[in-house]
Chain A
Amino acid sequence: QKEVEQDPGPLSVPEGAIVSLNCTYSNSAFQYFMWYRQYSRKGPELLMYTYSSGNKEDGRFTAQVDKSSKYISLFIRDSQPSDSATYLCAMRTGTASKLTFGTGTRLQVTL
């Protein structure tokens, strides 16, 4: 069983929809949680990071962490075709520098 599980999709939504992307994890030592966006044949781009439980908002993006359930989410409001990409969750413990990634969810926003 992987430490971080993420539905690979693909997830197809119409433009303007609210998108919910999720990851579950098994290691309770994870404290820092990140979301990356990766366009085809490009490197991952950091969207947001959060520490511990709670919500964090940045423009159309909201990251949510529920440590009691070992569950993290990324919400995208008013989705745009330019949001079409693979979204990767990543996390690390308080002492390690390496990130553990989910496999990514491919998102397609259609006109």
Chain B
Amino acid sequence: GAGVSQSPSNKVTEKGKDVELRCDPISGHTALYWYRQSLGQGLEFLIYFQGNSAPDKSGLPSDRFSAERTGGSVSTLTIQRTQQEDSAVYLCASSLDYIGNTIYFGEGSWLTVV
């Protein structure tokens, strides 16, 4: 596609439920990133993929958060047993190479936990 595509764009879920957020990066982009943006906060790094492997997952806030990438393309971020503090915009980004100076973001998945 022309840009980074994320789905769902909006998700309201009940506390304790699991959610899956999907990211489809720009075709040919080898690096993929997940960030989280909470109200009034800057973007917080979650995890970085090179191809299908994740050399840096240091930003995942707890073991309730996990992510995978398959085929060097689509990535899924899973949040188990959601909590209200998980409410945020989850942004996916991709870049052509591993240098990471030109990163293109999707429009985000807006998650609300009630």
Chain A residues within CB distance 8 Å of chain B: 4, 6, 8, 32, 34, 36, 41-46, 49, 51, 88, 90, 92, 96-104
Contacts and interface: CB of A to CB of B under 8 A. Distances in A.
Contacts of B58: 98
B59 interface: yes
Nearest to A45: B105
Contacts, number: 59
Contacts of B42: 4, 6, 88, 101-104
24 contacts: A8-B40, A34-B101, A41-B107, A42-B107, A43-B106, A43-B107, A44-B105, A46-B103, A88-B42, A97-B31, A97-B33, A98-B33, A98-B45, A98-B58, A98-B59, A99-B45, A99-B100, A99-B103, A101-B42, A101-B44, A103-B40, A103-B41, A103-B42, A104-B42
